[in-house]
Structure formats: C-alpha cells, structure tokens
Amino acid sequence: MIRTAIVQFDVRRGDVAWNVETVKRRIAAVAEHGTQLVVLPEMWSTGFANKRLKELSKTTPGILEDLSSVAKKLRLTIIGSMPEKVRGRVYNTAYVVDRDGSVAGTYRKVHLFSLTGEHRHFKAGRKAVISKTSLGRIGLMICYDLRFPELCRSLALDGARMVVVMAQWPAERVAHWDILLKARAVENQLFVFGANRCGSDPDVAYAGHSRIISPYGEVMARAGKQSATISATIDLRALQQTRKHIPCLKERVPEAYG
C-alpha cells in the first residue's frame, strides 16, 4: 500500500520564492499523514514566464537540492517539472526526487504545445522515461503528452505501474483532461496521477481537476477548481487483478496495427 498525494495550487508566474515556499509547506503538511509520494504540477517553480526562462532556469539546481533535503528528511518521493537549461536551450523537465534524496529520474517533455508557442521557448525531449524508484517503476508525462496514447502505452509496455502527468491544462479544455486521464488509466491498466495547476495567468485560466485514477478507471481522489491537496492510498496488486480479469495488454496483436 502506498499513500500518495497531489498538490494543486495557483503557480505564480516568475515568483520562484513564493512557489517554492508554498510547495515546501504543503509537502510538510501531507508528510504528517504518512504520505510516500507527492506529485506537483508542470513548471511549478516558475510558471510559463517564457521571456525569463533562461534566467529562471538557473534556480532549478538549488531547488533540487532543497527538494532532496526535504525528501530525505520526510522519507517521501517528490515529482514535478521545472525549467532545465542545457547548452543555452531550455527543456521542460520532470524531476523525480526519491526518498533517499537522490534524483531517481528526469524526463524532458517530448510534445511541445504549438498552439501557445512552446516550441519557440523550449527544446523538445526525444525519449520516453520510466523512473525506477523506491515505490516502483513510474512513467513520466507532461501536459500535452496526455493527448498521445502511444507515449503512455510505451511506458506501460516497459513496465510502468504508475504514470504521473504534470500539467498546466486550461479550463476551456477541462473536459478533455478528465476524459484523457481516465482513458490512459483504463487502456493501459495502471494508476494515473494527473497533477494540474489552478488559478490563472493574465492570458489563461487553468482547470485544476487534479485526479488519482485506478487501473479500472475509478477516480480515487479529485480536486475542483481551487487550491487543494488530494490523497489516496493505492495498492499495486490492483494492476495484476485488473490485467488478469481483462487481459487486453496480453492480447494485443501488434502486427495487425500497421
């Protein structure tokens, strides 16, 4: 059994100090209840302050050190995405900080959302990533990635037992968010964590609606539109039970799919 939580909050664009202090306070609160996994939204430390990304990305190594200390002290795993600067280019990168304080995995967002011009500010990642953590194998996805079932399927086939989706998903397309999270969980028969931000920037309102979803499509915990922390205790044995009952992954016929 794993006690899990999602921290949903209104990320302040460019206000790193406020975002970091908010997250640290919220993590400390859930740790009092024995939480073992905490998931944060996409770009939680900086927001999409696109004109300042190269400058703000310099804060990420120090924040990672802070998170490592928090994770080690509280004995929990923390996952969320932040800007990563590499050779003058910036990636939207998910970091997995395990309960011993080590960085157990990183994933650079593969699918950049052209509608809002992400491709003009970020460099795209090139590969799917599963992080091998103290809690098991966790697949990583970021926002727009959710619309590409091939990515989540590749994580499932490579042994992911949980998939974390970090997002800043807009309110105007919240119906898609709710549907796609359930679809990815049901079709791949694994646990899905959808960690979205809430609130608004000057140009967009965000959906909230963070979710923890079982391999059978049950919504185990849900948030509304406001700042919230949601939690659920998951049992990884549910994967085997679901896959035994409906063995669709085992009964795939890849040669028929073209």
Per-residue DSSP letter, 70: H
Catalytically annotated residue among 42, 118, 123, 198: 42
Half-sphere exposure of 106 toward its Cβ, with a 13 Å CA cutoff?
14
**72 has catalytic annotation:** no
**143 has catalytic annotation:** yes
* Cβ atoms within 10 Å of 245's Cβ, excluding its own: 9
Could you give the 3-state DSSP secondary structure of residue 255?
A: helix
Catalytically annotated residue among 84, 85, 109, 123: 109
Which token pair is 158?
């490579």
Sign of CA dihedral 47, 50, 54, 56: negative
Name the residue with tokens 């990533």: 129
Catalytically annotated residue among 118, 123, 143, 198: 143
Sign of CA dihedral 195, 214, 146, 90: positive
**123 has catalytic annotation:** no
Which token pair is 169?
């998903």
Q: Which residues contact 149 (CB under 8 A, 6 or more apart)?
A: 183, 184, 187
Distance (Å, whole) CA 81 – CA 94:
4
Distance (Å, whole) CA 148 – CA 86:
26
Contact present, 84 and 73 (Cβ < 8 Å): no
Q: Tell me the catalytic residues.
A: 42, 109, 143
